[in-house]
A and B are shown apart, each in its own frame.
Chain A
Amino acid sequence: MVNAGDTAWILMSSALVMLMTPGLAFFYGGMVRRKNVLSVLMQCFVILCVLSLQWVVFGYSLSFHPGDGFWGGLGWAGLNGVGLEPYADYAATIPHQAFMIFQAMFAIITPALIIGAFAERMKFSAFLIFTILWATLVYDPVCHWVWGIGGWIRNMGALDFAGGTVVHINAGIAALMTALVIGRRKNLDKSVPSPHNLPFVVLGTALLWFGWFGFNAGSALAANGIAVNAFVVTNTAAAAAGLSWALIEWIRNGKTTMFGVASGAVAGLVAITPAAGYVNVISAIIIGLLVSVFCYIAAAIIKPKLGYDDALDAFGVHCVGGMWGALATGLFASKAVNAAGNNGLFFGNPHQLYVQAVAVGSTLLYAIVGTFVIYKIIDVTIGMRVVEKDEDLGLDLTQHRERAYTVLE
């Protein structure tokens, strides 16, 4: 039975999550140098175009068609059999296509997150091929494992409310792999380039926070109490993490930064994602306060020490925050919040933490191997990285023949 309220909320949530990808574009676009801002906006935007098509043609089917443990097959290719009646095993009260288009927005933003690692140095043509292959061979299978009927991680009982493993760990570790294989940007030893437009970063953060209500509260797949719980803990964790990052900076550097609070808020949103439908508000505060500590250590201390060039901290925020969120779900999940979930370690069920760790570990392992193989295949055939001269001149001019800002009228 289609429920009008549930359907309205899921359509609205789908639109909210759609807005996150342009939001991410500005979040990342503000962090790069002026000569590369369009290239980042373009990469995010073109993913919206390319993966919208991939998803309805075969991506949704690979991810969600009831299949074997690995992926779903082509039974729903071209949305054949995906109609306007509910598909009760996923969501009993909304049209099947509403569930499909909500999931489409997740499939779109996930590869867009990876851009943060290889920003300012990847060829646009290679980027397009990488994105299509990664979405098909890494995202769609992992999505099936965790959320699809027959998926082995789902059958194991892992809890991932809105995509801690599928979206954030998956994209975050892929980001680290691409940063390692593509290498550091030129001239990084002399000075780390400053973000060219921090107000863009803040605008992007605001759009992400706004869209994340659809991401998490929409993942209840109904306009119900679980959705409200997810909404409240999402806002709470983002707030706690934004403050916590500011506090860390205050202690370490004597001043807090706008960039820091924005980074913290996003880290908090990442961390609460897998937990949003299973934890209460006090747990959300703890999850939010701690995620900034982990992400700060990753981005501000470990990255410079080890020297990998995860340019915009896609790994430092999404993978590290996502791992904490997925494990925190195994600590803080409570049946008092959601009877359909499970209890975590702190509510008497240590087994849940083990299940969460297996889900995290297998996502990491698969994404590391998958990303590396895809990258290498493209690299030896057409080459991944722009030539040095193009990197100096900037990707806007060399990849797209336009520039974002004029100096003279």
Chain B
Amino acid sequence: MKLIIAIIQPSRLEDVKEQLYQAGVNLITVSEVLGHGRQKGVTEVYRGAREMGNLLRKVRLEIAVNKDFVEPTIKAIIKGAKTGETGDGKIFVLDLEDCVRIRTGEKGPAAIG
């Protein structure tokens, strides 16, 4: 079992979702986060006061998958999120120790899908 965490551009979310559905991945958690990588955010100005390098809004996806779905999920995220510009984001793949379905108490791979 793996936990895939992806940071993507907010405007790519709909495309990523569509690609994930096509890859048969239907269970995702989405949250809004702030951050920047090499692009260093943007300058903001409030009544003349400049704030350099502010954080940009990004979307964070969390997807828990079984072994067979790791590659298809990564492929789907890249397909939906890639524009070729800086700021397209990152995908992190982590080992997942366990997973419990709260409703039934099922554990492990059976609880993921």
Contact = CB atoms under 8 A, between A and B. Distances in A.
Contacts of B9: 392
Interface residues of A, number: 15
A402 B18 contact: no
A401 B44 contact: yes
Contacts of B45: 401-402
B32 A407 contact: yes
Contacts, number: 31
B11 A392 contact: yes
A393 B43 CA distance: 13
B44 A403 contact: yes
A397 B14 CA distance: 22
B44 A397 contact: yes
A390 to B, nearest CB: 10
Given A392-B9, A407-B32, A187 B42 contact: no
A contact face: mostly helix, strand, loop, or mixed: loop
Interface in B1-23: 9-11, 14-15, 18
Contacts of B43: 401
A186 B11 contact: yes
B56 interface: yes
B44 to A, nearest CB: 5
B111 interface: no
A407 B14 contact: no
Contact of B42 (A186, A190, A393): A393
Nearest to B46: A402
A253 interface: no
A389 B87 CA distance: 11
Given A407-B32, A407-B57, A389 B42 contact: no
A142 B24 CA distance: 58
A407 B10 CA distance: 14
Interface string A182-199: 000011001100000000
A408 interface: yes
Nearest to A401: B45
Interface of B: 9-11, 14-15, 18, 32, 34, 42-46, 55-57, 85
Given A190-B18, A402-B44, A402-B46, 11 more contacts: A187-B15, A190-B15, A191-B14, A389-B85, A393-B56, A401-B43, A401-B44, A403-B44, A407-B32, A407-B34, A407-B57
23 contacts: A35-B57, A186-B11, A187-B14, A187-B15, A190-B14, A190-B15, A190-B18, A389-B85, A392-B9, A392-B10, A393-B42, A393-B56, A397-B42, A397-B44, A398-B42, A401-B43, A401-B44, A401-B45, A402-B45, A402-B46, A407-B57, A408-B34, A408-B55
Q: Which 3 A-B pairs have the closest CB atoms?
A: A190-B14, A392-B11, A401-B45
